[in-house]
Amino acid sequence: MTQKREILIIGGGIIGLSIAIELKSQGVPVTILSRDFSEAATHAAAGMIAPQAEEIPPSPMLDLCLASRALYPDWIRKLEALTGMNAGYWACGILAPRYQVSKGMLDRASILAHQRDLGAEVVGGYWFPEDAQVDNRALAKVLWMAAQELGIEIQTGIQVDRFVADSNITQLESTQGIWKADRYILATGAWSQDLLPIPVFPKKGQMLSVRINQADLPLKQVLYGEESYIVPRQDGRIVIGATSENVGFQKGNTSIGVHQLLSAAIRLYPPIQRFTLEETWYGFRPATSDELPILGSSPFANLTLATGHYRNGILLAPITAKSIAQCVLTEKADPNLEAFHWSRFS
Ligand code: GLY
């Protein structure tokens, strides 16, 4: 059976959902085809909104990340108003303690004034008050609910196997038959190579969380160390990440991965050793060789790309949604996306 829609978004993670919500909010009907919502990197992330802590050098990428960070409060406010749900956005700032002295950094006493009980080896660091965090799992639920509220069609359990194309995509072959549309948007993250020869590959990240009594929250901001990051939620959960492994789609947490995360976190913030271990998990970042996303037009006139967000998918969701929706609606290239065009790899 062949199904026909106006716009098909392939991929139902944070990027696919955010683009769908932006387009539908502007009155355009969209359908999402999602294989398995639970596999998206969205769930695995820590939810840091951290262009400065991630030390992205001055570049179009930094501009894009800063623009997206600036969109966050309003974007979240609208989603929460639409759904009546809380996405756990917290403008908490990010502290970046360091083990070696480097240029322009605050000394140990100043860093300890932001966060007491840091490890003995911390010599100083940086404070980024404008970096923030969102509870990415809560945000995923909010986006899903916002999509429902807006009447966006989401087809789950569908694996798209193949694009059929001439100069345009003419149809998709999937586990649930043939799908056709006027326009297609690819947002399949680490799995993008299954459909197109673009260099997006999985970079596995293992994570874990510990928990502390909610009445006694000792961490009031994210700690972004040299070997690990520690992301406290307001409900007492503390997320610790993340490994960065080139092991393909190898599933599972490893003992060494968990060991490395815990020792790095305890070195950075020793009180972690007393908190209750709660959960371990992992996910696959959609990486590219230059660590930049692939955004905008594609080799096919009716296919737009929104993939390869690597470490910054949560951060870049609002600007990706806005820019990609604009590209689709105006059928014009966005000059701000020039640096992220797929053709840089050809
Ligand atoms: N954005 C942090 C990470 O990918 O581990």
DSSP for 177-222 reads: EEEEEEEEEE--GGGGGGTS----EEEEEEEEEEE--GGG----SE
The band of 42, judged by pLDDT with boundaries at 50, 70 and 90, is confident
Query: Could you tell which of 285, 288, 314 is best to mutate to test the pocket of ligand 1, judged by most ligand atoms within 8 Å of the CB?
Result: 285
Instruction: Tell me what pLDDT residue 128 has.
Output: 98
Q: Is residue 88 part of a domain?
A: no
Query: Could you tell which of 94, 288, 291, 311 is best to mutate to test the pocket of ligand 1, judged by most ligand atoms within 8 Å of the CB?
Result: 311
pLDDT one-digit tens code per residue, 132-162: 999 999 999 999 999 999 999 999 999 999 9
Q: Is residue 169 part of a domain?
A: yes
Same domain (yes/no): 207, 267:
yes
Instruction: Tell me what pLDDT residue 37 has.
Output: 79
Same domain (yes/no): 226, 332:
no
Average pLDDT over residues 185-209: 96
Which of these, 216, 205, 204, 206, lies nearest to 276 by C-alpha position? 216
Tell me, using a 6 A CB cutoff, whether residue 205 lines ligand 1: yes
pLDDT one-digit tens code per residue, 58-79: 999 999 999 999 999 999 999 9
The residue whose C-alpha atom lies closest to atom 5 belonging to ligand 1 is: 242
Instruction: Tell me what pLDDT residue 36 has.
Output: 85
Same domain (yes/no): 72, 101:
no
The total of other beta-carbon atoms located within 10 Å of residue 18's CB is 30
Same domain (yes/no): 268, 334:
no
pLDDT one-digit tens code per residue, 191-201: 999 999 999 99
Instruction: Tell me what pLDDT residue 41 has.
Output: 76
The band of 44, judged by pLDDT with boundaries at 50, 70 and 90, is confident
**What does the block give as tokens for 66?**
């800063």
- Total domains in the fold of the chain: 2
Instruction: Tell me what pLDDT residue 297 has.
Output: 94
Residue 311 alpha carbon, nearest atom of ligand 1: 4
How far is ligand 1, taken at its centre, from the CA of residue 245, in Å?
A: 12
Report the alpha-carbon distance of residue 109 to residue 127 in Å, rounded.
13
Same domain (yes/no): 145, 163:
yes
Tell me, using a 6 A CB cutoff, whether residue 172 lines ligand 1: no
Report the alpha-carbon distance of residue 210 to residue 195 in Å, rounded.
38
How far is ligand 1, taken at its centre, from the CA of residue 26, in Å?
A: 31
Same domain (yes/no): 158, 271:
no
Same domain (yes/no): 146, 267:
no
Length of the chain: 346
Which of these, 323, 249, 186, 329, lies nearest to 41 by C-alpha position? 249
Domain that holds residue 62: 2-83+136-199+289-345
More confident residue, 41 or 305: 305
What are the angstrom distances between the C-alpha of 341 and each of 67, 163, 220, 308? 18, 20, 38, 11
Same domain (yes/no): 180, 323:
yes
Q: Is residue 89 part of a domain?
A: no
The band of 47, judged by pLDDT with boundaries at 50, 70 and 90, is very high
Instruction: Tell me what pLDDT residue 117 has.
Output: 97
Query: Could you tell which of 14, 48, 207 is best to mutate to test the pocket of ligand 1, judged by most ligand atoms within 8 Å of the CB?
Result: 48
Which of these, 273, 264, 305, lies nearest to 288 by C-alpha position? 305
End of a domain among 247, 269, 287? 287
The band of 106, judged by pLDDT with boundaries at 50, 70 and 90, is very high
Instruction: Tell me what pLDDT residue 90 has.
Output: 98
- Per-chain mean pLDDT for the chain: 96
CB contact at 8 A, 161 and 99: no
Range scoring the smallest mean pLDDT among 9-23, 37-51, 186-200, 238-252: 37-51
Query: Is the model's pLDDT at 33 over the cut of 90?
Result: yes
**What does the block give as tokens for 152?**
């966006």
End of a domain among 255, 272, 287? 287
Same domain (yes/no): 73, 214:
no
Same domain (yes/no): 192, 168:
yes
Average pLDDT over residues 259-264: 98
Instruction: Tell me what pLDDT residue 215 has.
Output: 75
The band of 275, judged by pLDDT with boundaries at 50, 70 and 90, is very high
The residue whose C-alpha atom lies closest to atom 4 belonging to ligand 1 is: 311
Q: Is residue 335 part of a domain?
A: yes
Q: Is residue 75 part of a domain?
A: yes
The residue whose C-alpha atom lies closest to atom 1 belonging to ligand 1 is: 311
Same domain (yes/no): 300, 181:
yes
Report the alpha-carbon distance of residue 150 to residue 165 in Å, rounded.
31
Instruction: Tell me what pLDDT residue 214 has.
Output: 74
CATH of the domain at 117: 3.30.9.10
CB contact at 8 A, 88 and 47: yes
Which of these, 97, 27, 136, lies nearest to 270 by C-alpha position? 97
- Phi, psi values for residue 99, rounded to 5°: -95, -10
Strands 276-287 and 201-211: antiparallel
Tell me, using a 6 A CB cutoff, whether residue 313 lines ligand 1: no
Same domain (yes/no): 146, 248:
no
CB contact at 8 A, 41 and 285: yes
The band of 295, judged by pLDDT with boundaries at 50, 70 and 90, is very high
Report the alpha-carbon distance of residue 327 to residue 339 in Å, rounded.
15
Tell me, using a 6 A CB cutoff, whether residue 241 lines ligand 1: yes
How far is ligand 1, taken at its centre, from the CA of residue 173, in Å?
A: 33
Q: Is residue 309 part of a domain?
A: yes
Average pLDDT over residues 318-343: 94
The band of 332, judged by pLDDT with boundaries at 50, 70 and 90, is confident
The band of 216, judged by pLDDT with boundaries at 50, 70 and 90, is confident
CATH of the domain at 175: 3.50.50.60
Q: What percent of the chain has pLDDT over 70?
A: 100
